[in-house]
Structure 1
Amino acid sequence: MRHLRLQNGWTQADLAKRAGYSERLISKAEAGVPIARDTIVDLAGAFSETNEEPIYWEDLASDPIQLAQRYLDTIHVHQKDSVDHLLDFLHEEVVFRIAGDPSQIPFAGEHSGIDAVRNMFDIFFTILEVPPNHDYNECYQVIGQGPNAIIWGESWIHPVGRPMDQPIRVSNLLVFRRGKLVLLDDCYDTATGAALLQGTPVQ
């Protein structure tokens, strides 16, 4: 909510006036104090009046950082079964864009829809694995960008049976709408990734 307010150049008093609430309530809401759903609906309506795209109450009520962290936890813990553990926040037409040449990196490309994303994870975790006893949280940072989130850091996920000497730098953009993940854009060092999958020594 704060991101949208600042994006519009509004003070808390401005938003309060537009939505018909007190400045104190706006301050509490931005501080994470729970507020009634009807109030969130009214606040979303105030933003929608000046936004090119409608803002829904789910956009204000969801926490993209928390959802991104859950995605990160799920892929490291559940791996091939990740989609089944994320169904409640995946949009039915979700798109995963994975950087790289599909002829060199079998899971690269654009995967549209839940079945396609599930197939992508199946391929990914057939040829790659998470190191045992790996504290992945030390390797990543999750930051919010309005209704979206960015995961960036270093991945130690490696070809099955072939641990890496150095991690691969990765950056994931997660785009949320109405509390659902609609797009994941996965960028990483594709040259190093391709070399690892082909068993070529990485320089």
Structure 2
Amino acid sequence: MRELRLSNGWTQAELAKRAGYSERLIGKAESGLPIARDTIADIADALSESAQSRVYWEDLACDPVQLAWKYLEALHDYQADAIDYMRPFLAEDVVVIVAGDPEKFPFAGKHVGIEEVDRIYKVFFSIMEAPQTPAYQDCYQVIAQGANAVIWGESWIHPIGHPIKTPVRFNKKLTFRRGKLIQIEDCFDTATGLDCMRGELSESPGPQGEVN
């Protein structure tokens, strides 16, 4: 809300006047305090007057950072069943774009629709797995860009049964509309990723199956 207001060059008082509410309420909303849905809808209508595209109440109520962390939770805790966990906030026509050559990375390319995205995540987790340690929350950073979110960091997801000693750097952009995730752009260090896929970054097994 604040970003859209500032992009219009409006003060809180100006947005309040256009929406028919007090400046205090606008300040409350921008601070993340709860307000009524109908009030959010009125503010969205006011912001739509000069926006390039219509602003919906769901856009203002959506917390992209929170949903980005739910996305990461799905990858690490649910893995092959990640899409089932994410369905409540996935658009039916969600698009996932994964970097890399599909001949080298079987999950690379552009994938459209929940069922196709579910299939490709199952392909990914048929050959890769997320480790229990280190804690994935410590490996990533998430910031909001308006109604969207950007994730970056180092991934320790590795070939099944072969933990890695060097993480793969990556960044992801999650695009939301009306509170639904409509696109994921997944970029990563493809050279290091290919080494990971080949097992060249794997820890060597030690005595009794321990990892060195």
Q: Give the TM bin, normalised by the shorter chain.
A: over 0.9
Flag the structure with larger Rg.
Answer: 2
Q: Secondary structure at the match of 2:134?
A: coil
Structure 2 unaligned runs (5+)? 203-212
Partners of 1:73 and 1:9 lie apart in 2 by 37
Contact 2:75/2:130, CA 8 A, preserved across alignment: no
Tell me the alpha carbon deviations over residues 144-168 of structure 1, each in whole angstroms, 9 at most, x when there is no partner: 1100001111100011122111111
User: What TM-score do the two structures reach when normalised by structure 2?
Assistant: 0.92
Q: What pairs up with 1:1-203 in 2 under 5 angstroms?
A: 1-200=1-200
Partners of 1:76 and 1:191 lie apart in 2 by 23
Tell me the alpha carbon deviations over residues 88-110 of structure 1, each in whole angstroms, 9 at most, x when there is no partner: 10000000000000000110001
User: What TM-score do the two structures reach when normalised by structure 1?
Assistant: 0.96
Range with greater deviation from structure 2 (106-115 or 188-197)? 188-197
Partners of 2:40 and 2:129 lie apart in 1 by 42
**Count of residues in Structure 1 that have an aligned counterpart in Structure 2:** 202
Structure 1 residue 200, shift from structure 2 partner: 4.3
Tell me the alpha carbon deviations over residues 41-76 of structure 1, each in whole angstroms, 9 at most, x when there is no partner: 100001111111110000001111111111111110
CA gap of 1:32–1:201, structure 2 versus 1, over 3 A, is: closer
Partners of 2:93 and 2:109 lie apart in 1 by 16
Contact 2:44/2:60, CA 8 A, preserved across alignment: yes
Structure 1 unaligned runs (5+)? none
**Post-superposition, which runs of at least 4 consecutive aligned residues in structure 1 deviate over 6 A?**
none
Structure 1 residue 20, shift from structure 2 partner: 1.1
- Identify the structure with bigger relative contact order (alpha carbons < 8 Å, sequence gap 6+): 1
Letter in 1 for 2:157: I
Tell me the alpha carbon deviations over residues 9-37 of structure 1, each in whole angstroms, 9 at most, x when there is no partner: 21111111111111000000011111111
Partners of 1:201 and 1:36 lie apart in 2 by 52
Partners of 2:53 and 2:115 lie apart in 1 by 28
Q: Secondary structure at the match of 2:152?
A: strand
Partners of 2:196 and 2:168 lie apart in 1 by 10
